[in-house]
Amino acid sequence: MAELLNPFKIVQQQLKTACEKLGYDDSVYELLKEPEKVLTVNIPVKMDDGSIKTFIGFRSQHNTAVGPAKGGVRFHPDVTLDEVKALSTWMTIKCSVVGIPYGGAKGGVVVNPKELSKSELERLARGYFRAIASMVGPEKDIPAPDVYTNPQIMAWFMDEYSKLKGYNTPGVVTGKPLNLGGSAGRNEATARGCTFTIREAAKEIGLDLNGATVAVQGYGNAGSVAAKLLAELGCKIVAVNDSKGGAYNPEGLDPLAVLKHKENTSTVKGFPGTKDISGEELLELDVDILIPAALENVITSKNAANIKAKIIGECANGPTTPEADKILYKNGILVIPDILANAGGVTVSYFEWVQNLMNYYWSEEEVNSKLEAIMVKAFKEVYAMHKEKGVNMREAAYLVSVKRVADAMKIRGWL
């Protein structure tokens, strides 16, 4: 059978398996297998040369039983409706894994933002948000940054929505600049949350982090911050890569120096004292900890058997295919699944939303402390389910999460 790579089909199968293992009848899966609401919009944008160009955008709200919908908006040329639906479903699961009161949503626009001027990008961002304005709001659906979107784009989203409402509405989006109601600690939250789960996983399998070796696939914001934080815990970062190449030194790398090199040259490749390494080679290095922090489907049935790491912390969304998951579990590799490992981002987005609603803001130390408490608790719940049911960590995370959503749907009378 061909390996399943359609993200929406993957998440539907994961939900179906979880529902079956929890002993639910078909009605639970019927309510979870498709999003509650999906909107496709056509966004006309006046380009700098005076011409009009249209862009296709999507917003998917998967499930709102636990609370309002939450999820990022990505601007990428390869955005598809199935991808957006899948990511909104994973957001439902992710929010419930860590126990925050959100359902899942996701948005996307089919565009290469690198081809637009700043003013064209602003007109596109505002046009997209006007087009989905009826779906979003602090009580309904709270977007956030994702691939190729950032705090500036969130500021445009918030400003456009505030104009439509006639008053300032910071709580409509998260991931905003600090001076517009953003939260301290948000920039590092995804990687920090991942680091907390890796630390807890290391305790469970008896791995001493002092001197533990780490390879990071994808040296963007999440990957570089995870490398820095793990180095602070005593780990040795031996390999990193990005879309243009990789750098490997078995004696270890200084994560901050690598980041500076990347800022200067636009790639980690060629960092002094390292040898080039391909993405495929990096994944198969003999290291203690592997962090996939880039794109989907990089660990597949073709390379899973060659992976030697003891712990995989999925900082990226969907880096491991279902077939690969089975191989890794059989080989005794502890995979901290994306829906748990990278839930630090949405957790601090939740903190940002709470701070916006009460118009009172926490220090970075408070944010990090609250994040640690939630991530450690979530990891322990998932690890306990993993042991109790004899399933891999991804299935355990789904069991914890689907049970919470199903309980909410039952209490509300949806089932």
pLDDT, average across residues 240-259 = 97
- pLDDT category, 1, cuts 50, 70, 90? very low
Per-chain mean pLDDT for the chain: 96
Give the residue extent of every domain in the chain: 37-178, 183-359+366-415
Give the tens place of pLDDT for each residue, 348-388: 999 999 999 999 999 999 999 999 999 999 999 999 999 99
Residue 25 CB contacts under 8 Å (≥ 6 apart), including other chains: none
pLDDT, average across residues 1-22 = 82
pLDDT value at residue 3: 52
CB 11 within 8 A of CB 402: no
pLDDT, average across residues 197-203 = 98
**Does position 339 have pLDDT exceeding 80, yes or no?**
yes
For β-strands 213-217 and 289-292, DSSP reports them as parallel
Same fold, 37-178 and 183-359+366-415: yes
Helices (H), 266-363: 279-283, 322-330, 338-341, 344-358
Query: Environment class of residue 206 by beta-carbon count within 10 Å: exposed (0-12), middle (13-18) or buried (19+)?
Result: exposed
For domain 183-359+366-415, is the CATH number 3.40.50.720? yes
CATH class, range 37-178: alpha beta
**Percent residues over pLDDT 70 in the chain:** 99
Q: In sequence order, what are the beta bridge partners of 336?
A: 313
3-state helix, strand, coil in the chain (%, to 5): 50, 15, 35
- pLDDT category, 4, cuts 50, 70, 90? low
List residues with catalytic annotation.
106
pLDDT value at residue 144: 96
**Percent residues over pLDDT 90 in the chain:** 94
**Does position 5 have pLDDT exceeding 70, yes or no?**
no
Give the tens place of pLDDT for each residue, 135-164: 999 999 999 999 899 999 999 999 999 999
